[in-house]
Each structure stands twice: as C-alpha cells, then as structure tokens.
Amino acid sequence: MTDIWIEPDTVFDGQALRSGCAVRVVDNRVAEIADDHASGAVHRIAGCLAPGFVDLQVNGGGGVMLNTSPTKAGIETIAAAHRQFGTFAVMPTVITDQPDVLDAAAHAAIAAKDDYSIVGLHIEGPHISAKRRGTHNPAYIRDLDARTMDVVTYLRAQDVTVMITLAPEAATTEQIATLSGMGAIVSIGHTDAPAALAEAAIAAGARCATHLFNAMSPMEGRAPGTVGTIINSQLHAGIICDGHHVDDRMIALALRARPAPDLMFLVSDAMATVGGPDHFDLYGQDVRLDNGRLINQEGNLAGAHITQAHGIARLVAHVGATPEAALRMAITTPAKVVGQDHRAVLIGQNVQNLNLLSDQLAQTRPFTDVFAQAVAHDAAE
C-alpha cells in the first residue's frame, strides 16, 4: 500500500487553480486535497498538477486516421499517440465518407468503449453543407438519412457516447429532436445556415457547435449567420487554437462575447501527423504538413497538427486567457459536454491519468514520472 503526500506549486482541481495545498495519493489514486495536510513527509514538486486533457474532436494520430483505419486497433493507436502529449481522453472522429466507413467506425467504438481513454464516437458529416465542407469529400455529402439514424440508435443502445456534427440545412428539426432524445449530442457545424435556421436547430435540441468560426456562415452586421447565432446562444462550442484556423484575436472576442462562462472548449481537430509522420492519405490524396499547417492538394486546411497541450499554451500566451480558464477549456468543459464529469476531478483519479504542467502551462509531462520517484524515495528510507 502506498500513502504519499505531494505538494505541487499549484493544483487544478477541475474548477480552480489552488496553491499552498497538498495531494494525498493512496494506492495510486488521489484520496484528498488539503490546504492543511497531515504532518509528516511531503514531497514538494514544481509545476501544476491537473487531470488529463479531454479532446472531443480527434480525427487521427500516430500515423493513423479513423476513416482509413476504422477498427479498435486504429482507435487505440490514435489514443496512444495523444496520450503522450497529455490528452488522456479522446473522442475519435469519423468524417464524411462512404456509409460502410461509418458502420465500421461505430463497431470499433463499441469494441473500445471500455477503454478509459475513449470518450465515445464523434460523427462529423456526411450530413453537411457542400459549400462549407472544408476538406470533406463532396462525393459523400448527403442529407441525414435512416442509415445514419440507425447507426446512432445502435451506438446509444450500446451505451456509447455520440456526438454528431451536422448542418441544419441537411436535417429536419424532427430528426434533430429524435437524435437529441436518444441522448446524442447534436453539434452544429459545416453549415451555411442563416441565423433563423440555426436557431431552429437549437430549439429542436442541438446543444453544441463544431469548431466555431471554421466552416460556418460568418457573422455580419445585418446577418448574424451561424457564427453570430452560436456566440449569442447558450450552446457549448469547440474551437481550434493553433494560430492557423482562427485568429487569436477572434478567439479572444468569442470568449468575451459568450453570454455565460465555460461555454467554450478546446478541440485539436488533430490528424494522423500528431505523434506520426508529416503526411498522410485522405480520400486518396496526400495531405502534408507545411509550416505547422496541414494542406491538401486543393490548398485547403485539412484538419490540424496540434495537441491540447499546445492549444492550452497558446490560449494563455497569445489569446490572453488565464491558466485556470484555459485548463477548464481543455478538461472541465469538454468532460461536461459529454456527461463525463468524473474525468475533470482529481479526487479518485488514478495517477496515470494526471498531468504535471509548467507554471505557464507551456510544457506537459505525465505525473506518473514524478510519482514513481516519490514512491522510490519513500521505499528507500
């Protein structure tokens, strides 16, 4: 049995950054956090102790794309690639493709549902706007149909968390209500919808938005579009913070403009290059990394080459977010969106699911490294 007190510079408990407190670890799990901990040996360490990052939009990693490897092994490879960068919970994302690819991805998600690293399955397309498709293949875009509805129904019957990104113009409000009613998280994205149509989707049950600003009708003075509708709404919204997809000043504006705190969360939209080679195949085309940007053969952005750790650091250093707010965006809020709040707390958490970050959150390393040293030190005494 291990029973160790560890005192980092700061502790993120899922809501707030705390200093001057210690964490008690019993049998590899956090048992308590105390401002006035019991007397005796305490291991003081530099950095910020926090739960692992949660990412709800992960297309690939470790050289693997879910679309091209829609298997349990593919999901495990993607999760392992992101874990080395501090993201201990991922939502593998299958983008617009042939129906058989979605079927295979659904079966893979069911096979992997007991893996703590896997949050569920994010279905991004094919029920999107051709005009706002981004890198998605137009050949597979179609309106929401019975086949996809059946896949989501099956996933929910197997207790798999589902997020489905769709354009309001590609689905009826009745379909959105049905998806919402079965517990799927309907997320508005890849859409050219005017404000009224986006508002109708929200009224029908949509409760999230996919990569705010990207692939959606923009906000204008006399036409709020989807962007303005989302910013004004109570929807949770993911955003990519890599310096390429959205200008840092626009992210700062959105954070200030939302009607309530903690409605924004960080996503990577990561592709196979994270923890993998600098290029990969998508729809039979080579997508390459070019000065931090992933570019397809059309010259368009094709997902992102970024981790949650880098996104957090950029939020603090370039957007002006507080470290506390940045951590909530990468841990607490995404966990809440998918109804898995337990991922965002320290108490009861296994040490293997914790991160140790530098003071300005610019560097991340697994807490297990430091914890193992503390255990070895105590054993040697």
Catalytic residue IDs: 269
Bridge partner list, 281: 286
d(CA 83, CA 68): 21
Q: Which of 347, 369, 339, 345 is nearest to 357 (CA)?
A: 369
Tell me the residue ranges of DSSP E strands in 125-197: 162-166, 185-188
Strands 29-34, 301-304: pairing kind:
unpaired
Output the CA–CA distances (angstroms, integers) from residue 237 to 15, 196, 234, 281, in the order listed: 19, 18, 9, 28
For the range 179-183, what are the long-range contacts, defined as Cβ-Cβ under 8 Å and sequence gap of 24 or more? Answer: 179/149, 179/152, 179/205, 180/204, 180/205, 180/206, 180/207, 181/205, 182/152, 182/153, 182/156, 183/156
66 token code pair? 């879910």
Q: How far is CA 311 from the centre of its chain?
A: 11
Cβ neighbours around 259 below 10 Å, total: 9
Structure tokens at 243: 């310096």
For 210-276, give the DSSP string: SSTTTTBPPPBTTB-HHHHHHHHSS-EEEEE-SSSSS-HHHHHHHHHHSSSTT-EEEE--B-TTTTS
Q: Is the dihedral of CA 128, 98, 182, 156 positive or negative?
A: negative
Other C-beta atoms closer than 10 Å to the C-beta of 281 total 12
How many Å apart are CA 169 and CA 194, to the nearest integer? 9
